[in-house]
């Protein structure tokens, strides 16, 4: 007789395994799709496509690179009609840099090889037909294909003049202005105290002489490029004269090889990473924003790590279990869920107005008295931004550190105490090294959250445009009181505050990609350190 038994050891829940796997696949696909979208739209900003000349049925002629292609909003779903958006540039003449054209009205489209693209300091790019150019010596040269190299040489020379002029105006004249302001404050203080002022007045006179000399030097440098200009014709046949000093780059989009386009791509990418913004932040580079984000994130991490670790050590190793300890833990966990804008309001009220105002009264009272009550630390700046984000990410570090300390085997503690070590020596020499990888995990999470925050920074120190970096060669070299730019705020400003939304849209994707890369690089650096510590103290988990 055969005995039939029910196999109760068979695994259950196989459909849920497949369901959770499907959820993971969907999540990874969404992340990959988002990254692919950002990558495509971000890198397309730096690519130079061919520029068509389009003639419409009403006789209108457009010259510019195509920016968008979409279904017309007023077309029926059954019979969709399409339209194209062209970036025509020359905003000072056309009133706008972008024009929509009904695809059905396009009667002719060609790509003339003589079409030229010009990137400019203001009023957007220009897509024109060149006629002639005047070099820096005043000689007029008719434009031909062979003379394009001469034109690019003049554009590069104009860029060198701009850099030299910026160095004089921003660095040298700026340093002299700072010294003059400090000397004037010293003069007013000496006059109030009836102290001798002859030496201070002599110093001010010398600074004024240096200032005038630098201003004259700036005018001479500027005059070196006053004659250079380029004569062009737009799509409507209007002749326009553009000063060479306003042109950043010139290229022939319809007469370029693949290598030329790749070279232009990397040239624009280098400009994006290392130059300053221009044209309402919709063009140019983002070096101040990159540097500001990096410096703020590093200072935030340096501030939050010791306080978070010390608080976690006390809660885990010293505090006695009871109602107070449970309330503290509940408060720490709840702080992790508080909206970031609340921390920004707290930072503005406490750090800026209370703490910063007190510092000004104690250490900078003379500047408040003799400089029209202009605050030093009583206004937004790098220090208050870093402290605000450190406070916001503090619960993350505390919780991660507590979990890392609790994961250290009890036998290691007992062995250390049995060997005669004190409790603090055990914490310092045994627990902290063994829990360092877990602590760094909390720091990584804090960096990832803090680097992308925008709302609190808007209240405590981040501004739309601040080309002066918080670190420079002027004493005290590191300026905690200085406002700065931030990539997250830059994305918000481009997306919602830019006067030219069409021109800002591509830069939104490029800046988003840059912020992602910066956060990933910071995290990879911290992860590398964590892995090395984990390998060093691998035996601590056994």
Q: pLDDT tens track of the chain, all 542 residues?
A: 445 555 555 556 677 788 888 889 999 999 899 999 989 888 888 888 999 999 988 888 889 888 888 888 888 877 888 888 888 888 888 878 888 888 888 898 899 999 999 988 888 888 999 989 888 888 888 888 888 888 888 888 888 888 888 888 877 888 888 888 888 888 887 877 778 888 888 888 888 898 888 888 888 888 877 788 899 998 888 888 988 888 889 999 998 888 989 999 999 999 888 888 876 667 778 888 898 898 999 899 999 999 999 999 998 888 888 888 888 888 888 888 888 899 999 999 999 999 988 888 888 877 777 777 778 888 888 899 999 999 999 999 998 898 888 888 888 888 888 888 888 888 888 888 888 888 888 888 888 888 888 889 888 988 888 877 787 766 777 788 888 889 888 888 887 877 777 777 888 888 888 988 888 888 888 888 888 877 776 654 43
Burial of 368 (0-12, 13-18, 19+ CB in 10 A): middle
Residue-level pLDDT at 310: 92
Q: What is the predicted pLDDT for the residue at 346?
A: 92
Helix (H) or strand (E) holding 70: strand 65-71
Q: In angstroms, how far is CA 390 from the centroid of its own chain? A: 19
The whole-angstrom separation of Cα 178 and Cα 469 is 15
Whether the CB-CB separation of 188 and 178 falls below 8 Å is answered with no
Q: What are the φ/ψ torsions at residue 135 (nearest 5 degrees)?
A: -80, 180
The tally of CA atoms less than 13 A away on the side-chain side of residue 87 is 23
Asked if 63 contacts 234 with a C-beta cutoff of 8 angstroms, the reply is yes
DSSP classification of residue 315: I
3-state secondary structure of 178: helix
pLDDT at 6: 54
Q: Sort strands 61-63 and 53-56 into parallel, antiparallel or unpaired.
A: antiparallel
Q: What is residue 67's three-state secondary structure?
A: strand
Quick one: tokens of 43?
């890198």
Separation of alpha carbons 323 and 244, rounded Å = 73
Tokens of 318: 């010293």
* Distance in angstroms (rounded) separating the CA atoms of residues 287 and 340: 26
pLDDT recorded at residue 11: 55
Give how far Cα 452 sits from Cα of 135, 165, 305, 316, 464, Å.
46, 35, 18, 30, 16
Q: Answer for the pair 89, 64: CB distance below 8 angstroms, yes or no.
A: yes
Q: How far apart are CA 42 and CA 39, in angstroms?
A: 5
Q: What are phi and psi of 58, to 5 degrees?
A: -85, 5
Note whether 66 and 85 are within 8 A (CB). yes
Determine the angle formed by the axes of helices 287-313 and 382-406, rounding to 10 degrees. 40
Residues paired with residue 110 on neighbouring β-strands, in sequence order: 53
Identify the DSSP state of 3: P
For tokens 């399409």, what's the residue?
82
- Joined tokens for residue 5: 């038994």
**Which pLDDT does position 385 carry in this prediction?**
92
Number of helices and strands in the chain (H, E): 18, 14
CB distance 446 to 407 below 8 Å: no
pLDDT tens figures, 102-113: 888 889 889 999
Q: How far is CA 417 from CA 19, 316, 507, in A?
A: 49, 17, 59
**Residues 6 or more apart from 240 whose CB is under 8 A from it?**
90, 93, 126, 128, 231, 232, 233, 234
Q: Check residue 538 and give its pLDDT.
A: 64
Helices (H), 275-371: 287-313, 323-335, 340-346, 357-363, 365-370
Vertex 446: Cα angle to 441 and 448 (nearest 5) = 95
Cα-only R_g, the chain: 31
d(CA 69, CA 158): 36
Closest by alpha carbon to 480, among 295, 211, 271?
A: 295
Here the tokens at position 280 are: 């309402």
**Amino acid 1: pLDDT:** 46
pTM: 0.84
Q: Contact at 8 Å (CB) between 119 and 249?
A: yes
């Amino acid at each position: 007789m055969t005995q039939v038994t029910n196999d109760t050891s068979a695994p259950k829940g196989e459909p849920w395994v497949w369901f959770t796997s499907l959820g993971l696949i969907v999540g990874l696909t969404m992340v990959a799709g988002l990254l692919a979208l950002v990558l495509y739209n971000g890198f397309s900003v730096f690519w130079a496509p061919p520029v068509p000349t389009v003639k419409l049925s009403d006789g209108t002629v457009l010259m510019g690179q195509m920016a968008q292609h979409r279904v017309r909003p007023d077309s029926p779903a059954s019979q969709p009609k399409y339209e194209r958006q062209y970036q025509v540039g020359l905003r000072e003449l056309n009133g706008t840099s972008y024009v929509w054209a009904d695809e059905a009205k396009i009667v002719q489209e060609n790509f003339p090889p003589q079409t030229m693209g010009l990137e400019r300091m203001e009023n957007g790019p220009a897509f024109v037909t060149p006629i002639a150019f005047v070099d820096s010596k005043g000689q007029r040269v008719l434009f031909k294909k062979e003379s394009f190299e001469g034109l690019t040489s003049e554009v590069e020379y104009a860029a060198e003049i701009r850099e030299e002029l910026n160095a004089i105006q921003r660095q040298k004249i700026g340093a002299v202005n700072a010294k003059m302001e400090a000397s004037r404050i010293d003069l007013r203080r000496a006059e109030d105290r009836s102290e001798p002022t002859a030496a201070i007045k002599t110093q001010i006179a010398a600074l004024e002489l240096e200032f005038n000399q630098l201003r004259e030097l700036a005018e001479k440098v500027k005059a070196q490029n006053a004659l250079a200009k380029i004569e062009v014709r737009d799509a409507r046949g209007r002749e326009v004269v553009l000063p060479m000093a306003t042109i950043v780059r010139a290229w022939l989009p319809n007469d370029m090889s693949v290598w030329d386009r790749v070279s232009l791509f990397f040239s624009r990418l280098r400009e994006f990473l290392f130059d300053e913004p221009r044209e309402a932040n919709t063009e140019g580079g983002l070096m101040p924003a990159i540097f500001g984000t990096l410096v703020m994130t590093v200072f935030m991490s340096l501030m939050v790590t010791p306080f978070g670790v010390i608080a976690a050590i006390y809660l885990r190793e010293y505090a006695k279990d009871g109602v107070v300890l449970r309330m503290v833990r509940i408060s720490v966990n709840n702080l992790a869920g508080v909206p970031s804008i609340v921390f920004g309001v707290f930072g503005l009220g406490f750090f800026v107005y209370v703490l910063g105002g007190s510092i000004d009264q104690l250490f900078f009272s003379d500047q408040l008295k003799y400089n029209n009550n202009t605050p030093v630390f009583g206004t937004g700046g790098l220090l208050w931004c870093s402290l605000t984000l450190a406070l916001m990410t503090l619960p993350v570090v505390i919780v991660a550190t507590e979990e890392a300390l609790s994961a250290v085997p009890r036998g290691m503690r007992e062995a250390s105490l049995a060997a005669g070590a004190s409790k603090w020596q055990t914490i310092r020499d045994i627990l902290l090294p063994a829990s360092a990888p877990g602590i760094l995990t909390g720091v990584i999470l804090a960096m990832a959250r803090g680097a992308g925050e925008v709302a609190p920074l808007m209240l405590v120190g981040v501004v739309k445009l601040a080309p002066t970096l918080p670190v420079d060669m002027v004493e005290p070299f590191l300026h905690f009181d200085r406002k700065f730019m931030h990539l997250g705020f830059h994305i918000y400003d481009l997306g919602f505050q830019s006067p030219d939304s069409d021109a800002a849209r591509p830069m939104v994707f490029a800046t988003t990609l840059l912020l992602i890369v910066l956060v990933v690089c910071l995290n990879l650096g911290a992860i590398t350190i964590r892995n090395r510590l984990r390998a060093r103290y691998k035996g601590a988990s056994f």
